[in-house]
Amino acid sequence: MITATICTIGDEILIGQIVDTNSAKISTCLNSIGVKVISMVSTSDTETDIINTIESALKTSNIVVITGGLGPTKDDITKKTLGKLTGATADVENQEQLEIITRILSARGMVPLSALNRAQASVPNSCKVIPNEVGTAPCMEFEIPENRYGHKAVIYSLPGVPFETEIALPKVMDSIKGHFQLQKIFHKTICTFGIPESTLAQQIEQWEDNLPSNLHLAYLPNPLLGVRLRLSIYGTSEEEGLAELAENEATLKQMLGDAIYGEGETSLQETIGKTLKERGMTIGVAESCTGGFLASLFTSLAGASEYFYGGIVSYDNSVKINILGVSKEVLDTCGAVSRECAEQMAAGAKKALGTDYAIATTGIAGPGGGTPEKPVGTVWIAVATPDGVTSKRFAFNSTRRNINIERFAANALNMMRLQLIK
């Protein structure tokens, strides 16, 4: 299996000034052509750190993809450092990149070129240039002698600007295909909800222990998506790989049943929306503690207007009473965070919005407002259906407001999903 390390260069990443988005894009592309990414690292803008990081990566990886440090200023030393690392004896001016630089800067009224701008086209004579069509810093490819690290290796140096990297990646992937014999990597992701990660691991432990050696399982927990199970298989033919995945996937589905709601990047709201659309049915929401977040999950999907009618954010009790029809007696005796209130909210939203279904949430997101009887992280969720109203209490051991809101909304969606598959 051909392996890769992705390296980002720049103090701005290390201090959190900017977020590294390049690594995800690069990793996705590498995976798609059959290269296994084994490491992602970031390093500072110093020659010693850059060299140490790259040499360490080359000991274990066939491919090292670097982004950053290719600008025209003095702190951009990647090009010079890679030249030193790869034994360059001189810098040469790349005419194709110079023409691109001239075109780009001419459009900005920056001609004649300054010495710094022209120097962008100068590269170590140890590299092959992959022209950067939309920026001034050329992409560079450095072949490393096999005897240096005991295996064939290639370094790719790309700009740090995300859109420039993204545009260069197809050419980089073509170059990699030309250097290495690649085997496909096959993935299958199963989406589950309602079973905590640790419980899920125990439930499928025997199955996991009996997976073939070339089939790997990863647990991907997320408050909004539940626990996704990604099956990955390496080093097989397409026919064998897909057959192996299908066989183990079928066994997994038998074991987990209704806890599985989809595949890949499918969300709970997508699953619900698809079912409602197929059945010609509609839904609305009444939210207190989630403050419109549940509605936003539905409306984030293209085409949601076909089944999602709207939402009522009843943050104040007066809205619960006057708009949703929650009785003052329920609020006085049971409180806003109660089964009775949640059920009346759901029924009221269904009636007010004229939908087939409605979901209601009422709880304590925190960080304050909890009591011993109703601690922070408590929520009542109700679902009004054509046949009646069902409700359930959830208690999450967290005082983090945003996390609680996400969990409340996700569990509300899952309750709705389960109603649809009854």
Q: Which tens digits make up the pLDDT trace of 140-167?
A: 999 999 999 999 999 999 999 999 999 9
pLDDT on residue 282 = 98
Tell whether the model's pLDDT for residue 101 goes beyond 90: yes
Alpha carbons 144 and 100: distance in angstroms, whole number: 28
Question: Is residue 399 domain-shared with residue 332, that is, in the same domain?
Answer: yes
Widest Cα–Cα separation across the chain: 86
pLDDT band, residue 81 (cuts 50/70/90): very high
Say how many domains are in the chain: 3
**Alpha helices for 86-121 (secondary structure H):** 95-107, 115-119
pLDDT on residue 23 = 97
Q: Token digits for 186?
A: 């096959």
pLDDT on residue 184 = 84
Q: How do residues 49-66 score in pLDDT, each as one tens digit?
A: 999 999 999 999 999 999
Q: How much of the chain is helix, strand and coil, in % rounded to 5?
A: 45, 25, 35
The rounded mean pLDDT for the chain is 95
Q: Could you say which DSSP state residue 225 is in?
A: T
Q: Yes or no: say if 195 and 232 are a contact pair by the CB < 8 Å rule.
A: no
Q: Yes or no: say if 367 and 376 are a contact pair by the CB < 8 Å rule.
A: yes
Identify the CA nearest to 132 among candidates 91, 166, 164: 164
Q: What is the CATH number of the domain that holds 23?
A: 3.40.980.10
Question: Is residue 104 domain-shared with residue 171, that is, in the same domain?
Answer: yes
Question: Which residues are CB-neighbours of 270 under 8 A, at least 6 positions away?
Answer: 262, 301
Question: Is residue 321 domain-shared with residue 390, that is, in the same domain?
Answer: yes
pLDDT band, residue 105 (cuts 50/70/90): very high
pLDDT band, residue 31 (cuts 50/70/90): very high
Question: Is residue 139 domain-shared with residue 251, that is, in the same domain?
Answer: no
Range of the domain at 15: 3-179
Choose one of 162, 179, 196: the last residue of a domain: 179
Choose one of 131, 148, 179: the last residue of a domain: 179
Q: What is the CATH number of the domain that holds 406?
A: 3.90.950.20
In terms of Cβ atoms closer than 10 Å to its own Cβ (0-12, 13-18, 19+), residue 79 is buried
Question: Is residue 259 domain-shared with residue 279, that is, in the same domain?
Answer: no
Q: How do residues 381-411 score in pLDDT, each as one tens digit?
A: 999 999 999 999 999 989 999 999 999 999 9
pLDDT on residue 337 = 98
Identify the CA nearest to 381 among candidates 288, 274, 246: 288
Query: What is the number of alpha carbons within 13 Å of residue 75 lying toward its C-beta?
Result: 7
Choose one of 133, 153, 179: the last residue of a domain: 179
| Mean pLDDT of the region 284-293 | 98
Question: Is residue 136 domain-shared with residue 248, that is, in the same domain?
Answer: no
Tell whether the model's pLDDT for residue 213 goes beyond 80: yes
Question: Is residue 248 domain-shared with residue 300, that is, in the same domain?
Answer: no
Q: How do residues 172-207 score in pLDDT, each as one tens digit?
A: 999 999 999 998 889 999 999 999 999 999 999 999
pLDDT band, residue 32 (cuts 50/70/90): very high
* Percentage above 90 pLDDT, the chain: 91
Question: Is residue 386 domain-shared with residue 313, that is, in the same domain?
Answer: yes
pLDDT on residue 236 = 78
Per-residue CA distances from 382 to 155, 345, 356 (Å): 56, 8, 14
Kindly report which listed range (76-80, 278-282, 380-384) carries the lowest average pLDDT score. Answer: 76-80
pLDDT on residue 272 = 98
Question: Is residue 173 domain-shared with residue 194, that is, in the same domain?
Answer: no
Question: Is residue 7 domain-shared with residue 121, that is, in the same domain?
Answer: yes
Question: Is residue 305 domain-shared with residue 413, that is, in the same domain?
Answer: yes
| Mean pLDDT of the region 261-289 | 97
Q: How do residues 299-339 score in pLDDT, each as one tens digit?
A: 999 999 999 999 999 999 999 999 999 999 999 999 999 99
